[in-house]
Amino acid sequence: MRPDLVHKALGNEIRQQLLLNLEKKEKYLSELAEELKLAPQTIDFHLNLLAELGLVTFEWKEGKKYYFLKDKKILEFLKGNKPIPVGLHPKPPHEIVMDAWEDLSKRLDRIEKKLDKLTRKK
């Protein structure tokens, strides 16, 4: 996640209001649209963007998609003009590469074990 994208996303009043409205409890799309007096399509657009940035997430309950904050520390930023929490900063490129390598290594090890089992059966 790039800090400039997070700052740009949080610079929008609708997205700020969405995050603040999710402070106390999770809510579904129509509920948020009604509270902010905006079209559900508008709310959906902004929620999807916040989800892409990792600021909100959702889960299905009783046939409705409920949105909630992924990390409430973002509220400190919105309410007090504090810096973006460290957990929301992007990883440095070398850490991203190392994480990807570790993940790939684990996958290759699993594949190798499966192949070993298959060749032993023959």
Give yes or no for a contact between 47 and 57, defined as CB atoms under 8 angstroms apart: no
CATH classification of the domain holding 40: 1.10.10.10
Q: What is the pLDDT of residue 81?
A: 63
Q: What is the pLDDT of residue 90?
A: 56
CA 35 vs CA 47, 48, 72, 94: distances in Å: 14, 18, 20, 43
pLDDT in tens, 13-60: 899 899 999 998 999 999 999 999 999 999 999 999 898 888 899 999
Distance (Å, whole) CA 63 – CA 105? 39
Domain co-membership, 33 together with 58: yes
Q: What is the pLDDT of residue 44?
A: 94
Domain enclosing residue 121, as ranges: 91-122
Domain co-membership, 44 together with 10: yes
| Residue-wise DSSP of 63-84 | TEEEEEES-THHHHHHHH-PPP
Domain co-membership, 119 together with 82: no
Confidence band (pLDDT; 50, 70, 90) for 1? Answer: low
Q: What is the pLDDT of residue 80?
A: 75
Domain co-membership, 58 together with 28: yes
Q: What is the pLDDT of residue 97?
A: 77
Domain co-membership, 112 together with 78: no
Q: What is the pLDDT of residue 72?
A: 81
Distance (Å, whole) CA 19 – CA 36? 12
Q: Assign 58 to helix, strand or coil.
A: strand
Query: Per-residue pLDDT for 118 more than 80?
Result: yes
Domain co-membership, 50 together with 100: no
Domain co-membership, 82 together with 98: no
Tally Cβ neighbours within 10 Å of residue 109. Answer: 10
Domain co-membership, 71 together with 109: no
Could you give the number of structural domains in the chain? 2
Report residue 27: phi and psi, to 5°: -145, 160
Domain co-membership, 83 together with 105: no
Q: Assign 101 to helix, strand or coil.
A: helix
The pTM of the full predicted model, rounded to 2 decimals, is: 0.61
Domain co-membership, 34 together with 47: yes
Q: What is the mean pLDDT of the chain?
A: 83
